[in-house]
Amino acid sequence: MSTSSPPECLPLTDEDLEAFKALFAASSAIGATPSGGLHRLAASREDGLARDQLCDWLREQDLEVRIDQAGNVFGLAVFDPEAPYVLCGSHLDSQPTAGRFDGAYGVIAGAVAVASLAAKLRAESIRPAFNIAVVNWTNEEGARFQPSLIGSSVFIGSMTAEQAWACRDLDGIDLKSALQDIGYLGAEPVRLPLAAYLEIHVEQGLDLERRKAAIGVVRKTWAALKLTLEFEGFQAHTGPTPMPERRDALLAASRAVALVRELADQHPGRMHSSVGRLEVYPNSPNVVPSQVRAFVEFRSEEPELLAETLSRFEAQLDRISQQTATAYRVIQRQLREAQFLHDGLARLAHQACAELGLAAADSTTIAGHDAISLSKSGPSMLLFVPSRDGIAHNEAEFTSEAQLLDGLRALNQLLYCASLGHGGLSAGGAASTSGALQ
């Protein structure tokens, strides 16, 4: 293939845009809810069907499909077997009764961009500096299996396949068995030395809508501290057991829930918090709960504020324990540190948007994304398209077709420029990440 004078742009055709619309609509139908949302938990039957549909389409585009031990699905366009990859993608799994854009948009956009660009590069006899690929990451959401970001964590080596396989859902089904059941448990790792990782996602916030920007170029993230707490009380009858003698684990947990909100409210705009899930045992109307598991989150851009809040939270938990005659323990603690994304890719993204006539603005993400995992191992870029009213993890989540197509155009142009080695990317830079990609 020739490497001389590649064109400045290989734009998407009308056929590419129609292919995106058809594939996105077909994906949105798998696990669709009556209210127009999506219910497609990781490694569920619906997730398996969505993966099947994606893999069939990738093969039809002459992309090589590989599946790793964590169930991550890769579609590869290989120009030089010795060269690193520019990888793009997101996730097909959803939250319960959630929106149809979160995650799935990035996978479908990535698939169309990679397939279109690969075909055009070959037709134009252009040999890029890097191979290109799309990926669907397993269990980004953390709704069925905890923690979140399992697939990308295994890929970068921060979690082993065995640790991922051992994660269980509320029915006691482990991830390994669930992946086997849907036919997506790969036999071995997929080792791809990366030049860069790109992801496009709906914003899940109001910033772009308020600023009337078409594309958000994410420059940094908030940190997230996630705790799983277990409160221990004593099971008893809710009728005759005297109130002073009760050791109510749910009472202790409820006071902790209120405390989580109180601590965040003390730092408006600087901290967000939640307790999104409680698991109560024995969960009977006539029984004082003996055990409650609570999933707690604190998020902030400031590591020192998170550390200070954690110290105050744990001190108050001791007080709650004494007041309610219960015990508690922290059974899991996870800190996802704040990250800065790659400056060179950010500049390249702004340049790509300018060439396309799309208004771009720098953004910050409070939510976690697979791009944040990948940023720990090498150059990573996250793009946003607007979300109407900032609604996310809800069936009412919405981004217009025109906005989706603008995002696809931006991703396609960024992917093309990155594949040629622009944005400060180099084959030598990729070598430091390939050893972690087990």
pLDDT tens digits along 22-46: 999 999 999 999 999 999 999 999 9
Among 32, 79, 134, 129, smallest CA distance to 40 is for 32
Residue 436 has pLDDT above 50, yes or no: no
Does residue 383 sit within a domain?
Answer: yes
CATH number of the domain within which 248 lies: 3.30.70.360
Residue 282 has pLDDT above 80, yes or no: yes
Contact 288, 247 (CB under 8 A): yes
Q: In angstroms, what is the C-alpha Rg of the chain?
A: 23
Does residue 9 sit within a domain?
Answer: no
* 289 and 250 inside one domain: yes
0.85 cut: is pTM over it?
yes
Does residue 303 sit within a domain?
Answer: yes
The pLDDT of 408-434, averaged and rounded, is 80
Residue 274 has pLDDT above 60, yes or no: yes
Residue 224 has pLDDT above 90, yes or no: yes
The pLDDT of 158-187, averaged and rounded, is 97
* 276 and 206 inside one domain: no
Does residue 4 sit within a domain?
Answer: no
* 141 and 68 inside one domain: yes
The pLDDT of 339-346, averaged and rounded, is 96
Does residue 395 sit within a domain?
Answer: yes
Query: What is the C-alpha separation between 167 and 146, in angstroms, rounded?
Result: 7
Does residue 323 sit within a domain?
Answer: yes
pLDDT digits (tens, 9 = 90+) for 362-394: 999 999 999 999 999 999 999 999 999 999 999
β strands within 148-193, DSSP E: none
pLDDT of residue 426: 79
The pLDDT of 128-132, averaged and rounded, is 98
Contacts of 430 (CB under 8 A, 6+ apart): 84, 193, 194, 195, 378
pLDDT of residue 192: 96
Q: Give 142 or 435, the one with higher predicted confidence.
A: 142
Q: Please, what is the Cα angle at 60 between 58 and 63, to 5 degrees?
A: 45
Contact 216, 369 (CB under 8 A): no
Mark which of 277, 305, 336 sits at the end of a domain: 336
Q: Please, what is the Cα angle at 206 between 203 and 208, to 5 degrees?
A: 70
Query: What is the C-alpha separation between 40 and 52, in angstroms, rounded?
Result: 14
Instruction: State the distance between the two ends of the chain, measured CA to CA, in whole angstroms.
Output: 31
Confidence band for 313, pLDDT divided at 50, 70 and 90: very high
Residue 55 has pLDDT above 60, yes or no: yes
pLDDT of residue 428: 52
Mean pLDDT of the residues in the chain: 95
* 83 and 199 inside one domain: yes
The pLDDT of 2-21, averaged and rounded, is 87
Does residue 196 sit within a domain?
Answer: yes
Mark which of 336, 360, 381 sits at the end of a domain: 336
* 107 and 166 inside one domain: yes
pLDDT digits (tens, 9 = 90+) for 84-111: 999 999 999 999 999 999 999 999 999 9
The pLDDT of 290-295, averaged and rounded, is 98
* 65 and 78 inside one domain: yes
Residue 421 backbone class (left: φ over 0; alpha: ψ -120 to 50; beta: rest): left
Does residue 7 sit within a domain?
Answer: no
Contact 289, 250 (CB under 8 A): yes
* 316 and 352 inside one domain: no
* 175 and 106 inside one domain: yes
- What three-state secondary structure class fits 146? coil
Count of structural domains, the chain: 2
Residue 209 has pLDDT above 90, yes or no: yes
* Burial (0-12, 13-18, 19+ Cβ within 10 Å), 219: middle
Domain that residue 303 falls in = 227-336
* 197 and 277 inside one domain: no
CATH number of the domain within which 158 lies: 3.40.630.10
* 330 and 345 inside one domain: no
* 181 and 56 inside one domain: yes
pLDDT of residue 413: 98
Mark which of 288, 317, 336 sits at the end of a domain: 336
pLDDT of residue 437: 28
* 269 and 290 inside one domain: yes
CA dihedral angle for residue 16, residue 19, residue 20, residue 24, rounded to 10 degrees: 180
Contact 112, 16 (CB under 8 A): yes
Q: Using a pLDDT cut of 90, give the percent of the chain over it.
A: 95
Query: What is the C-alpha separation between 242 and 240, in angstroms, rounded?
Result: 6
State which amino acid sits at residue 132. I
Residue 293 has pLDDT above 50, yes or no: yes
